[in-house]
Structure 1
Amino acid sequence: MNTSEMNDHQVAGLAAAICATAEAMGQEMNPGTAAMMAEDLCAYPVPVVKAALKACRFEVKGKLAMADILQRVQSSDGRPGKDEAWAIAMTANDEFETVVLTDEIQLALAAAKPILDGGDKIGARMAFIDAYQRFVGQAREDAKAVNWHVSVGFDAHRRIQAVTKAVELKRIPQEHGQKYLTDLSIVPVTEEGRAIAGLLTGAVTQPAPALRQKLGLVKNSMLEMRQASAERKTEMRIEAANELADRRALLIRQAQELEAKRAAQ
């Protein structure tokens, strides 16, 4: 059961509000019809539905229809529009950026990624928007609340900025934002972990010989990136994209496991 569902008293009150809204729009509505519409809307928070009815009174020309109410209810769920979603997805495609994105953006980006990796940005955008609207439509049909989560990038400073902005936009609760910032600040317990973290934070570390060799390869790759031509930079980004997706998926899975362990304590 959705925790936002109305009780019987609220449903009855909503049915009355629907009748009153229809009357204000010059339409007579059968109480039974209004009650049925209220039942269909009971999975949504009362203030959201009432705000949608008010918007209908000002915006809808003609008779009040369920589609008019539902459109306004769903558009207030906090999910970004297709253009903003695409902009967020493009930021998420940069391995250095920390991005706060929705489940639907992440799924749509995965669907468009093969086209994007092929260099067709216009085609990728079309595929992304088509998939995004489909995923959003399904989520809204299921009355699923929007879920924003953090995709961690390599740049340590941008992590703080991204999470702080997400809290300011109320995309993630303040307590969740603080937890993200705390977790991202935890120093790994192993020397290897500290050495890897040093690449992100600039902290001075002394890695083991085997790891030092691996880090050397990473630094060489970064140097090559700086010296490469614009065309080669694009090629290198495309080559790194699939590996980056795997790393992010692992990081998200580890965060979920950590959250599950903490909840079980």
Structure 2
Amino acid sequence: MNANKEINPAEKIIQAITVTAELTGTQLSANAAAVMAEDLLAYPLDKVLIAFERCRRELKGRLTLAAILERIDDGWQSAEEAFNTLVAGWENEHLSILTTHTAMHAAESASALFNAGDKYRAGLAFKTAYERIVSEKKAKGIQPDWYVSAGLDKEQLAQLVTEAAATGKITNDYALALLPAGEERMNIEAGNLLTDKQKEEGKARLGNLLNLIAQKCALS
């Protein structure tokens, strides 16, 4: 056997399943491990392997597919993060928020409680509904369905939409539909999608380059 032969993703996942099952005292048949590996191939390998590492550290019971999926960083917000994002929008009509259609759906069972002033029970109701729906979507390999809830502050909306498009959370077409004519819309149409952080980093690199040029000119 060639020691340098690269192990394919399925084999790496099977190895991770075997080791993690042993360390958690879980008995899995070969068929069960193969089915589990097939389901996990829908996700990026590096994130799956990190999820196994977390299972080995965190699990106190049997290894299950649900336990692995819960630990895969697949872009879905946690229930707490999703709820806090919605609350920020509910409490400030000027604020635009980036959430998901899934979170909006889960909020149907919580908004009445929140409007009645019971934020605690609203959070519990949201968590129950959100985690159930997200768990079902994760099991099917469905990615987050990002949605922009627009507030009254047009400048903040433009910044939010531009960053969401730059990070690939929303499509350019969706971003353009949310923006009026302006610099941000022109940047998206031209494919010039830089976040504020990237722009600042670019300015810093340019400043360093100009300083070096100035120093060389001074020495010549």
The two structures share one fold, judged by TM-score above 0.5: yes
For residues 13 and 101 of structure 2, the distance between their equivalents in structure 1, rounded to whole angstroms, comes to 31
Deviation at 1:77, TM superposition (A): 2.0
Tell me by how many angstroms 1:22 deviates.
4.1
Q: Deviation at 1:100?
A: 0.6
Q: Does 1:91 align with 2:88?
A: yes
1:148 and 1:171 in contact (8 A); partners too: no
CA shift in 2, pair 1:171/1:90, >3 Å: farther
Aligned counterpart for 2:158 among listed residues 157, 160, 163? 160
> AA paired with 1:110?
E
- Please, which runs of 5 or more residues in structure 1 have no aligned partner? 1-8, 188-265
For residue 36 of structure 2, what is the aligned residue in structure 1? 37
Tell me if the contact between 2:69 and 2:139 (Cα under 8 Å) persists in the aligned partners: no
- 1:116-139: per-residue Cα shift (whole Å, max 9, x none)? 334443443333233222322232
1:133 aligned residue (131, 139, 146): 131
TM-score (structure 1 length as normaliser): 0.52
Displacement of 1:144:
1.3
Alpha-carbon distance in 2 for matches of 1:17, 1:130: 30
TM-score normalised by the chain length of structure 2: 0.61
- On the 8 A contact 2:69/2:138 being kept in 1, the answer is no
What SS is found at the alignment partner of 1:80? coil
Residue aligning to 1:70: 69
* Whole-angstrom distance in 1 between the partners of 2:14 and 2:63: 13
Q: Give, in whole Å, the separation in 2 of the partners of 1:62 and 1:118.
A: 39
C-alpha distance in 2, partners of 1:69/1:13?
A: 15
> Over residues 132-163 of structure 1, what are the superposed CA-to-partner deviations in whole Å (9 max), with x where a residue is unaligned?
22322232233211122211111112213333
For 1:41, give the aligned amino acid.
L
Cα pair 1:16 1:34 within 8 Å, conserved: no
- Find the partner of 2:181 among 177, 186, 193: 186
Q: Conserved in 2, the CA contact under 8 Å of 1:163 and 1:177?
A: no
Query: Which residue type is aligned with residue 124 of structure 2?
Result: M
RMSD: 3.4
What whole-Å deviation, never above 9, does each CA across 1:64-92 have from its counterpart, x for those lacking one?
4444323323xx12222222222111122
Q: How has the CA–CA distance of structure 1 residues 18 and 179 changed in structure 2, closer, same or farther, with 3 Å as cutoff?
A: same
Tell me which of 79, 101, 112 is aligned to 1:82: 79
8 A contact 1:56–1:64 mirrored in 2:
yes
**Given that residues 158 and 179 in structure 2 are in contact (C-alpha distance below 8 angstroms), is that contact kept between their aligned partners in structure 1?**
no
2:108 is the counterpart of 1:110: yes
1:145 maps onto 2:143 in alignment: yes
- Residues 40, 142 of structure 1: CA spacing in aligned structure 2 closer, same or farther, 3 A cutoff? closer
Alignment map for 1:157-236 (pairs within 5 Å)? 157-164=155-162, 166=164, 170=167, 172=169, 176=171, 180=175, 183-186=178-181
Structure number with the bigger relative contact order (C-alpha 8 A, sep ≥ 6) is: 2
- The separation in 2 between residues aligned to 1:63 and 1:130, in whole angstroms, is 23
**Which has the larger helix fraction?**
1
Query: C-alpha separation between the residues in 2 aligned to 1:91 and 1:84?
Result: 11
Q: Percent identity?
A: 33
- CA distance in structure 2 between the aligned counterparts of 1:179 and 1:21, rounded to whole angstroms: 42
Deviation at 1:52, TM superposition (A): 1.6
Confirm or deny: 8 A CA contact 1:23 1:29 kept in the other structure.
Answer: no
Stretches of structure 2 that go unaligned for 5 or more consecutive residues are 1-7, 183-220
Does the residue aligned with 2:105 lie in a helix, a strand or coil?
Answer: helix
Q: Aligned to 1:157, what secondary structure does the other structure show?
A: helix
